[in-house]
Structure 1
Amino acid sequence: MASSKVTDYGITYLKALHKLALLNMEGCPVTAACLKSLSELRSLKVLNLGFNDDISDAILAHLKDLTNLESLNLDSCRISDEGMVNLAGLRRLKCLELSDTEVGSSGLCHLSGLVNLESLNLSFTVVTDDAGLAALTNLTGLTHLDLFGARITDSGTNYLRSFKNLQSLEICGGGLTDAGVKNIKDLTSLTLLNLSQNHHLTDKSLESISGLTQLVSLNVSNSRVTSAGLQHLKPLKNLMSLTLESCKVTASDIKKLQSTDLPNLVNFRPE
């Protein structure tokens, strides 16, 4: 039903669907009354409420009984730290989308018990370093963590060491230096790493991540990386995508690296 004109009245007809497992209401004009109806759908495993300004903190109380949820999308909803307490009991959650909300560091403490979480999107939130990421260190099963646009600096990257199973990591927004990237170098399960828009990163950062040989996609755009630093990427034989836009690197530099050391590289910028 995503992006349809279904309203609260229409959702009341779903009450009888006790075996319903997936419900996508992204962008639908529903309000608090809708969630009252949904609270009876105890078999729900996937619920998408994204892009709805009427979904607020108080409304999230109606999610408490949906304890079978494995995926919850609250992208761009009007929620903050106050509402996070209502998610603390959803212990089966594997995927949680909180992008573009007012959720901050104090709200993340309510997620510390969600040990089955595998994917967490905190992009464009007000999450900060120590208070925020420290609350997540119990979530050692995370495989995907998106911090694009969050307020993460070198100090916060210390907590990333707890996430040994991470396969995808995005930290973009300007707060990192080469010192912070050193804390990422031991996350050897990474296949996607996006460090774009961190303007202080230099060739030393490429040296730090040269041991992440499982990388398939790497983005260090808008940094101070130069052609000289490309030598550090030679061990990344699985690399298929490399983005270095707005760096002191040319397409010919990358093509040379591709021809001699990175035969699997099929997508690169500048091109």
Structure 2
Amino acid sequence: MLFWILLLLASLQGIIEWLPVSSEGQIIIVSNLLNIDSDSALDLALWLHLGTLIAVSIKYYKDIYLYFNPKISDPIIVKWRWFLLLSTIGTIIVGVLCYILVRYVTIDPAIGEYVMLIVGIALLITAGLLFYAKRQQKTGKKIEDLSKKEMTSIGLLQGFSIIPGISRSGITLSGLLFMSVDKDEAIKGSFIMSIPAVMGGFILNLLDKLIKNENIFPADWWMIIIAIIVTAVLGYLTMELFIRIARKYNFAAICVVLGLLTIILFALRWLPS
């Protein structure tokens, strides 16, 4: 892969991760337009997510310290630990199954041609979730007020975000808002619960390669490291701005436009030249 293309995709990941438009889906769309196969694009997306993971960890480092410090026994902190534990378990249950499905689709050349269509449909699903959540939204509830069943349910929803086009932040924010969680609290909860999820997805990808006797690290590993750093820096610098934008605007319409454009691009590829 050319270095400039890698930097372009890293910049894209760092900037749009904070918007509910599926950064993974956008990476795959752009990669397909640049004639990069879907399986390689998915690999790259999982690597670049480490960059935004670093950005989130820096942004919420004080909260992370509280939640993962066993010496702190404050009741609210304990509830947050339950939230992270149960949401992660829920994510694993659905995420592993979705990962296997997505890998099957991207590896098979015959089916892989339909990835653009899948991403487009998934973006329309994300749009529907965002629209529905906005209509149902009630504010005031905190993360610690959620029941254990609700905490697990949010994790189950997050697991579906391994499907390109299903926005992780969009689906988790929609779920939390539907459960009447305050919007600012929902944004914080969505990003913090992404930390174990992203790490889990990355580890799952490495295990998958080990089982298949494939190289764990790409040949151009130094370029990947630079791309992760670019994603982390841009992600950290743009996080506040794009979170404010996400609070202010309804991204359901944007997801509809992106979804329809992706489906149109897919259809154009099938027209006779």
TM-score by length of 2: 0.20
Larger RCO: 1 or 2 (CA < 8 Å, sep 6+): 2
Which protein has the bigger helix share?
Answer: 2
> Which protein is richer in strand relative to its size?
1
Bigger Rg over Cα: 1
